[in-house]
């Protein structure tokens, strides 16, 4: 009781300091008082400090299982392992918003501290715009999603954390993703501030680049972890389902990727100002839209925990207020940051960045429409539809071919103007790519035109990117990320083309064959753990050359709350994953066995890691000036 009340009080104090920061910043714009600036810094730190206190109080409540706190009661249980007691904090609506607030307030302190060399008014405006977001979220947390609501009388036991959320990858997925999301709030505030103060130039771009990179790296990492979790935990053998909630993490990623390229152009050439500003705004709006769509329960999805319309309406209004503010500011101050009328030569890096932008905007629109259209249709005509993979495949895949080709040549272009000279190496590239494509196609069972073209363009992209590593004077961070991207796309392609699946209902002792493998269901054991009991099957997979692999898929029945989950058994090798899940069939001795062969799974994770590594490399190698 005391604990929860002090947590609430702490957040309230945080909110008071948010207002104080806001006021000081507004006052300081007209006057120039050094001591006010010190005050802002102090208040920002205090605001952060009180959120930290609140966060730790909630954390402590989770650790000691204080079921007098409603959030703890709803999402924890005394038999939970300590690790999941802790991660239970952000496995729910209230706690995750507190985490969001924590990241939000820490970032602005960090920004204020690290931007000392930048113009005073730009910093102040950034703080002002950012504080609007902070205050909005503070009120949201305190008013509609208070994590410190108390229960009286105190319940003896909690309701438990949803077992499918009890997974190491998912435990760190929200914090990582949030750093990515919240990082875009700084980009947003900074873009608005730069507009107002007429500071949209290459210096601004240079400083903002770091924030863009940080958000981008964490967003990519968050998406990766979510995919890994889906692959291991959901038991369907897929890693991306075009689920609305996955889409809303992909959308900010797409616009952030476009922004990253724009910022580089702005830094080097003082071009694409409007693009950079609009993309900065759009990225953050998409992040908030994501929060809105996930947290309001407007979508029916695995991720929707909360189903409270008042929360949804609050975020919705907040979102549109932000859109309105940015729109008005853009209109008023657009003239202040006029694009300098430089000619863009059609064969130049600038053009390739522009082309990249248009592709990203196209991909973004497709995902956006696919995600939001069902909601619109439901409201307007009451018809319920769900948009699935065929929609995205049809609209996205054909456009990937030109995208890959542009991506291959883009990085080799020079700024300003590229002199096109015929080189013998072009023929080599072409021959090499063709040869590699033919060899690849030979190994694939499925051969259609689109697939061949896709592979050709991807192989070309890989070879071209690899060759860039050999050149001097190239951006290795960029090469790494591009290479990772090419590998990712190739792995996904091979994975989706040559995955096989076989579903059988069999008893213990029986076996079935899949291609050249014989799968035998050897035995069933039961096992008791602290928070669940499980049924473990033993499967033996024997292939042509008599190599034997044993797999142990599980059915877990968690005790709090009582939910059965199917734990996949996965044998990962360099070139393919063997994936097996079992399910009980009611009242019978039969088990439903699903066996999948998933080639190149591990390369999907590895190549995404390479992309992330490239981004990280770029954060730390900011000193060098590549041409």
Nearer to other proteins, 70 or 334 (CB): 334
Q: Rounded distance, CA 380 to CA 8, Å?
A: 41
Q: Which of 1, 33, 313, 562 binds other proteins (CB under 8 A)?
A: 313
Q: Which of 83, 324, 358, 426 binds other proteins (CB under 8 A)?
A: 324
Nearer to other proteins, 298 or 458 (CB): 298
Nearer to other proteins, 331 or 424 (CB): 331
Q: What is the nearest approach in angstroms of other proteins to the Cβ of residue 316?
A: 5
Residues in the chain: 627
Q: Rounded distance, CA 67 to CA 70, Å?
A: 7
CA 246 to chain centroid, in Å, comes to 8
Is residue 108 a contact partner of residue 188, using CB atoms and an 8 Å limit?
A: no
Q: Which two tokens stand for residue 407?
A: 């991506």
Q: Strand pairing partners for 527?
A: 534
Nearer to other proteins, 337 or 440 (CB): 337
Long-range contacts of 390-397 (CB under 8 A, 24+ apart): 391/242, 392/242, 392/366, 392/367, 395/366, 396/363, 396/366, 397/450, 397/454
If binding is defined by CB under 8 A, does position 378 make contact with other proteins? yes
Q: What is the nearest approach in angstroms of other proteins to the Cβ of residue 389?
A: 23
In the region spanning residues 573 to 602, those forming contacts with other proteins, defined by CB under 8 A, are none
Q: Which of 327, 426, 552, 575 binds other proteins (CB under 8 A)?
A: 327
Radius of gyration of the chain (CA): 27
Nearer to other proteins, 224 or 278 (CB): 278
Q: Which of 241, 320, 362, 613 binds other proteins (CB under 8 A)?
A: 320
If binding is defined by CB under 8 A, does position 312 make contact with other proteins? yes
Q: Which of 75, 96, 296, 437 binds other proteins (CB under 8 A)?
A: 296
If binding is defined by CB under 8 A, does position 339 make contact with other proteins? no
Q: What is the nearest approach in angstroms of other proteins to the Cβ of residue 313?
A: 6
Q: Rounded distance, CA 145 to CA 292, Å?
A: 13
Nearer to other proteins, 322 or 400 (CB): 322
Is residue 195 a contact partner of residue 337, using CB atoms and an 8 Å limit?
A: yes
Q: What is the nearest approach in angstroms of other proteins to the Cβ of residue 298?
A: 5
CA 271 to chain centroid, in Å, comes to 28
The pattern of x and - marking residues 274 through 293 that bind other proteins according to CB under 8 A reads ------------------x-
Nearer to other proteins, 316 or 619 (CB): 316
Q: Could you tell me which stretch among 47-55, 107-115, 135-143, 306-314 binds other proteins (CB under 8 A)?
A: 306-314
Q: What is the largest CA-CA distance in the chain?
A: 83
If binding is defined by CB under 8 A, does position 297 make contact with other proteins? yes
If binding is defined by CB under 8 A, does position 376 make contact with other proteins? yes
In the region spanning residues 408 to 437, those forming contacts with other proteins, defined by CB under 8 A, are none
How many residues sit in the footprint of other proteins (CB under 8 A)? 19
Q: Which of 32, 78, 300, 365 binds other proteins (CB under 8 A)?
A: 300
Q: What is the nearest approach in angstroms of other proteins to the Cβ of residue 304?
A: 10
If binding is defined by CB under 8 A, does position 375 make contact with other proteins? yes
Q: Which residues contact 20 (CB under 8 A, 6 or more apart)?
A: 43
Q: What is the nearest approach in angstroms of other proteins to the Cβ of residue 144?
A: 13
3-state secondary structure 497-562: HHCEEEEEEECCCCEEEECCEEEEEEEEEEEECCCEEEEEEEEEEECCCCCEEEECCEEEEECCCC
Is residue 471 a contact partner of residue 478, using CB atoms and an 8 Å limit?
A: no
Is residue 258 a contact partner of residue 279, using CB atoms and an 8 Å limit?
A: yes
CA atoms within 13 A on the CB side of 254: 20
Q: What is the nearest approach in angstroms of other proteins to the Cβ of residue 143?
A: 17
Is residue 18 a contact partner of residue 138, using CB atoms and an 8 Å limit?
A: yes
Q: Which two tokens stand for residue 369?
A: 């429409």
Q: For residue 224, what are the CA distances in angstroms to 174, 185, 295? A: 11, 21, 21
Q: What is the nearest approach in angstroms of other proteins to the Cβ of residue 378?
A: 7
Q: What is the nearest approach in angstroms of other proteins to the Cβ of residue 314?
A: 10
If binding is defined by CB under 8 A, does position 298 make contact with other proteins? yes
Nearer to other proteins, 316 or 432 (CB): 316
Q: Which of 380, 420, 424, 574 binds other proteins (CB under 8 A)?
A: 380
Q: Could you tell me which stretch among 147-155, 211-219, 377-385, 502-510 binds other proteins (CB under 8 A)?
A: 377-385
Q: Rounded distance, CA 323 to CA 202, Å?
A: 25
Nearer to other proteins, 320 or 415 (CB): 320
Q: Rounded distance, CA 283 to CA 260, Å?
A: 11
Nearer to other proteins, 201 or 301 (CB): 301
Residues found near other proteins in the complex (CB under 8 A): 292, 296-298, 300, 309, 312-313, 316, 320, 323-324, 327, 331, 375-376, 378-380
């Amino acid at each position: 009781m005391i604990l929860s009340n002090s947590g609430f009080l702490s957040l309230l104090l945080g909110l008071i300091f948010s207002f104080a920061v806001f006021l000081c910043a507004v006052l300081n714009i007209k006057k120039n008082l050094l001591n006010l600036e010190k005050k802002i810094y102090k208040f920002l730190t205090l605001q952060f400090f009180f959120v930290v206190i609140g966060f730790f109080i909630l954390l402590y409540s989770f650790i000691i299982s204080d079921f007098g706190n409603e959030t703890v009661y709803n999402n924890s249980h005394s038999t939970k392992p300590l690790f999941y007691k802790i991660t239970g904090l952000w496995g729910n609506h209230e706690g995750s918003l507190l985490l969001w607030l924590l990241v939000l307030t820490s970032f602005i302190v960090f920004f204020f501290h690290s931007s000392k060399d930048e113009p005073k008014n730009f910093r102040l405006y950034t703080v002002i715009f950012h504080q609007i977001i902070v205050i909005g979220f503070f009120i949201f947390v305190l008013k509609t999603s208070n994590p410190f609501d108390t229960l009286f009388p105190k319940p003896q036991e909690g309701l438990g954390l949803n077992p499918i959320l009890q997974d190491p990858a998912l435990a760190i997925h929200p914090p990582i993703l949030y750093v990515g999301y919240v990082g875009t709030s700084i980009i947003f505030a900074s873009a608005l501030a730069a507009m107002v103060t007429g500071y949209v130039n290459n210096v601004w771009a240079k400083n903002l680049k770091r924030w863009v990179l940080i958000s981008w790296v964490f967003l990519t990492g968050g998406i990766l972890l979510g995919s890994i979790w889906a692959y291991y935990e959901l038991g369907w053998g897929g890693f991306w389902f075009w689920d609305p909630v996955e889409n809303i993490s992909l959308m900010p990623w797409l616009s952030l990727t476009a922004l990253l390229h724009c910022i580089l152009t702005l830094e080097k050439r003082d071009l694409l100002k409007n693009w950079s500003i609009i993309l900065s705004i759009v990225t953050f709006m998409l992040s908030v839209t994501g929060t809105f769509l996930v947290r309001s329960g407007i979508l029916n999805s695995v991720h929707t925990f909360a189903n409270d319309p008042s929360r949804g309406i609050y975020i919705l209004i907040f979102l549109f207020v932000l859109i309105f503010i940015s729109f008005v500011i853009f209109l008023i101050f657009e003239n202040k940051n006029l694009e300098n009328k430089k000619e863009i030569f059609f064969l130049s890096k600038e053009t390739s960045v522009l082309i990249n932008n248009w592709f990203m905007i196209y991909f973004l629109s497709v995902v956006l429409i696919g995600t939001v259209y069902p909601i619109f249709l439901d409201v307007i005509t009451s018809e319920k539809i769900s948009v699935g993979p065929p929609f995205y495949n049809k609209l996205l895949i054909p456009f990937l071919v030109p995208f890959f080709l542009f991506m291959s040549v883009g990085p080799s272009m020079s700024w300003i103007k590229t002199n096109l000279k015929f080189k013998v190496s072009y023929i080599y590239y072409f021959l090499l790519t063709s040869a590699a494509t033919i060899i690849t196609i030979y190994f694939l069972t499925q051969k259609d035109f689109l697939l061949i073209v896709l592979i050709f363009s991807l192989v070309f992209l890989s070879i071209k990117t690899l060759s860039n590593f050999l050149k001097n004077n190239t951006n290795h961070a960029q090469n790494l990320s591009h290479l990772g991207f090419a590998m990712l796309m190739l792995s996904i392609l091979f994975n989706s083309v040559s995955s096989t699946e076989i579903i059988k209902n069999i008893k213990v002792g029986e076996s079935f064959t899949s291609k050249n493998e014989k799968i035998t269901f050897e035995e069933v054991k039961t096992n008791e753990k602290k928070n669940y009991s499980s049924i473990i099957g033993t499967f033996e997979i024997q292939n042509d050359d008599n190599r034997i692999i044993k797999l142990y898929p599980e059915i877990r029945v968690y005790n709090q709350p009582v939910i059965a989950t199917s734990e996949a058994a996965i044998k990962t090798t360099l070139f393919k994953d063997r994936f097996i899940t079992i399910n009980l069939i009611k009242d019978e001795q039969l088990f439903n066995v699903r066996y999948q062969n998933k080639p190149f799974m591990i390369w999907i994770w590895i190549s995404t890691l390479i992309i992330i590594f490239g981004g990280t490399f770029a954060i730390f190698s900011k000193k060098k000036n590549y041409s």
